[in-house]
Chain A
């Protein structure tokens, strides 16, 4: 049936009037509607990113520079004005350690999360497309790995490989990729059965092309949200391991071991609460970042999945 050229089409008229917004404009509109908590989260993340990137220019002293007086209190509690947050147990400037710690802790967590998405995401996509013995093998393997609590598993593996940064990154990335694998596989499984994927395979595209160009763009939103959640989880795990003395090793500055070092006088807090500050400050830095990431992820999930308040 041929359409009459003069016939009226409401869709056509709307289509003529509709403005084509650029990507930047759409992002800006979405941002303007974001709640305060999301804005707070984004600003905090931006500040952390800034400090992490430009750390060496912001820090007043060198990363492991030692000063004469150890365990000095904050400037506002009667300490030396040259060291705003005082000095630590061997006389290093706490503010400097905090700034370098941002770089190390966040950087390592980011690398680990990226690696875990690379492993888990790729295997998840392959399993979703392949659907054969490989899928069964990977899925059952992941089931077993997930049945061991990841902190315990990480501790056991660290006892074998020793606590160096590469082994820390590898162990946590592999353990965390099981979660990424599950999510990727389950969301990709719904996309793989679509006609356009079938069409792409029929016209002879390779599995890599189908993965990148047909499936990946369609499963991006849940993966991005998961990236935020995984990042804060990995970040917490690394901070906890460093706090236990098994993560990032000195003299590299990081927040987890700063909390540990700062806790030497914790039993005297009942008499002078400022003694808790050396561990509360880096612990608070960790907490603030995870809260910020959670706020942003929360908002992003609501936006992309149309979730209501009831979950």
Chain B
């Protein structure tokens, strides 16, 4: 088998294994709940029969491994279970399916994250590459100093700073609704997108710069310069083939970071996304929703990192042209 294919398959297998173990961890969290949460969810006044029915619905009368198989099979078919909220002690069941709660918010979050990535990735690659090429210049130093500062700021501080400065221009509440036009939506998410751009550009720019400087210091670049190749040729023909892997890693790492950073930013701007849903479900201890959100976040995170690895392997000249 071609070494590239072999390594990629190996990496994919490892990624699937990780996903599998993570799903077990997330699933077993429900088993860690103290005491009888049927009583807790339904309230003190619930009849024993109602509690019993609720327990049977959750499958608590079955062994754990059987419950896991049922759960993962349902998840793979897109059924994430039923929310705990909306259950009454009388046994009346007004609860909604988790997917119904998650779906519209997931698309909102993806819209926000995608829009941020669209601005942040090109901007930070440009800043990182130019800073690495003009190393130790005033430009490099000032970009560096600014990014070191924004990196250490918590997201909510940056968000409120931006609100104070830009409140007159952009709306400070990002309460988007499904029937809004694209232009209105973009205006509404301008401030959260800008906050995340600031955080992520700082990380991404610094990592790109470090990776490139590492690369430009390697002997074969020096060799290419010494043999008289032009600057553009050195970068495009010699540096770039080896730079794809670190750059892909940087981008994927930061997109994964975006997935997490979105939680705080969504809460600041009251954006109806999945991060806010998770926070709400955690504070009301709505475990099925929290589990579903955690699963979505973890899967996105793992898949993005996996993608970076695969890109790194596929573009690696040493693997592409084995001796």
Binding site for B on A (CB under 8 A): 143-144, 147-153, 155-163, 232, 236, 239-240, 243-246, 259, 263, 266-267, 269-270, 273, 276, 279-280, 283-284, 286-287, 290-291, 293-294, 298, 309-311
17 residue pairs bridging A and B, Cβ less than 8 Å apart: A147-B298, A148-B22, A149-B301, A152-B263, A152-B293, A152-B294, A152-B301, A157-B29, A244-B264, A244-B283, A246-B279, A267-B173, A273-B164, A280-B164, A287-B152, A294-B152, A311-B210
The prevalent SS among residues of A at the interface is helix
Known contacts A266-B163, A286-B154; is A158 also within 8 Å of B301 by CB? Answer: no
Counting chain B residues whose Cβ lies within 8 A of the other chain, the interface size class is 35 or more
Is the pair B290, A159 in contact by a Cβ cutoff of 8 Å?
yes
Q: Which 6 A-B pairs have the closest CB atoms?
A: A283-B157, A270-B167, A159-B282, A149-B260, A156-B294, A290-B152
From A153, which residue of chain B is reached at the shortest CB distance? B294
Closest CB in chain A relative to B163 CB, distance in Å = 5
Q: Which residues of A contact B293 (CB under 8 A)?
A: 152
Is the pair A147, B305 in contact by a Cβ cutoff of 8 Å?
yes
Q: Which residues of B contact A150 (CB under 8 A)?
A: 260
Is the pair A294, B148 in contact by a Cβ cutoff of 8 Å?
yes
Is the pair A270, B152 in contact by a Cβ cutoff of 8 Å?
no
Closest CB in chain A relative to B216 CB, distance in Å = 10
Scan B20-39; emit 1 where CB is below 8 A from any A CB, else 0.
Answer: 01100110011011000000
Is the pair A147, B22 in contact by a Cβ cutoff of 8 Å?
yes
Docked pose: A155 CA to B135 CA in angstroms: 41
Q: Which residues of B contact A148 (CB under 8 A)?
A: 22, 25, 294, 297-298, 301
Closest CB in chain B relative to A294 CB, distance in Å = 5
Known contacts A158-B282, A276-B164, A283-B156; is A147 also within 8 Å of B264 by CB? Answer: no
Q: Which residues of B contact A310 (CB under 8 A)?
A: 135, 210, 213, 217
Is the pair B29, A160 in contact by a Cβ cutoff of 8 Å?
yes
Known contacts A243-B264, A291-B153; is A280 also within 8 Å of B161 by CB? Answer: yes
Docked pose: A163 CA to B63 CA in angstroms: 29
Q: Which residues of B contact A267 (CB under 8 A)?
A: 172-173
Other-chain residue from B148, B279, B305 in contact with A155 (beta carbon distance below 8 A): B279
Docked pose: A270 CA to B161 CA in angstroms: 12
Is the pair A159, B22 in contact by a Cβ cutoff of 8 Å?
no
Closest CB in chain B relative to A30 CB, distance in Å = 22
Q: Does B107 contact A (CB under 8 A)?
A: no
Is the pair A284, B157 in contact by a Cβ cutoff of 8 Å?
yes
Other-chain residue from A157, A162, A283, A294 in contact with B151 (beta carbon distance below 8 A): A294
Other-chain residue from A144, A259, A280 in contact with B18 (beta carbon distance below 8 A): A144
Q: Which residues of B contact A160 (CB under 8 A)?
A: 29-30, 32-33, 287
Q: Does B281 contact A (CB under 8 A)?
A: yes
Q: Which residues of B contact A155 (CB under 8 A)?
A: 263, 278-279, 282, 290, 294
Closest CB in chain A relative to B315 CB, distance in Å = 23
Docked pose: A311 CA to B32 CA in angstroms: 43
Docked pose: A273 CA to B278 CA in angstroms: 31
Is the pair B154, A240 in contact by a Cβ cutoff of 8 Å?
yes
Interface-central residue, A149, A276, A283, A286, by most chain B CB under 10 Å: A149
From B26, which residue of chain A is reached at the shortest CB distance? A156
Closest CB in chain B relative to A305 CB, distance in Å = 15
Closest CB in chain B relative to A306 CB, distance in Å = 16
Other-chain residue from A151, A159, A287 in contact with B157 (beta carbon distance below 8 A): A287
Is the pair B256, A149 in contact by a Cβ cutoff of 8 Å?
yes
Q: Which residues of A contact B259 (CB under 8 A)?
A: 149
Is the pair B22, A240 in contact by a Cβ cutoff of 8 Å?
no
Is the pair A286, B263 in contact by a Cβ cutoff of 8 Å?
no
Q: Which residues of B contact A236 (CB under 8 A)?
A: 154
Docked pose: A266 CA to B159 CA in angstroms: 11
Q: Which residues of B contact A149 (CB under 8 A)?
A: 256, 259-260, 297-298, 301
Q: Which residues of B contact A279 (CB under 8 A)?
A: 156, 160
Docked pose: A284 CA to B153 CA in angstroms: 8
Scan B254-292; emit 1 where CB is below 8 A from any A CB, else 0.
Answer: 001001100110011000000000110111011100110
Is the pair A309, B136 in contact by a Cβ cutoff of 8 Å?
yes
Q: Which residues of A contact B290 (CB under 8 A)?
A: 155-156, 159
Starting from the known contacts A161-B32, A287-B154, A293-B152, 18 additional A-B residue pairs (CB-CB under 8 Å) come to A147-B18, A147-B305, A149-B259, A152-B294, A152-B297, A153-B294, A155-B290, A157-B29, A159-B281, A160-B287, A240-B156, A243-B156, A244-B279, A246-B283, A269-B172, A276-B164, A283-B160, A310-B213
Docked pose: A148 CA to B281 CA in angstroms: 19
From A279, which residue of chain B is reached at the shortest CB distance? B160
Q: Does B302 contact A (CB under 8 A)?
A: yes
Q: Does B168 contact A (CB under 8 A)?
A: yes
Q: Which residues of A contact B279 (CB under 8 A)?
A: 155, 244-246
Closest CB in chain A relative to B244 CB, distance in Å = 21
Docked pose: A132 CA to B125 CA in angstroms: 42
Q: Does B149 contact A (CB under 8 A)?
A: yes
Q: Which residues of A contact B281 (CB under 8 A)?
A: 159
From A158, which residue of chain B is reached at the shortest CB distance? B282
Docked pose: A284 CA to B157 CA in angstroms: 6
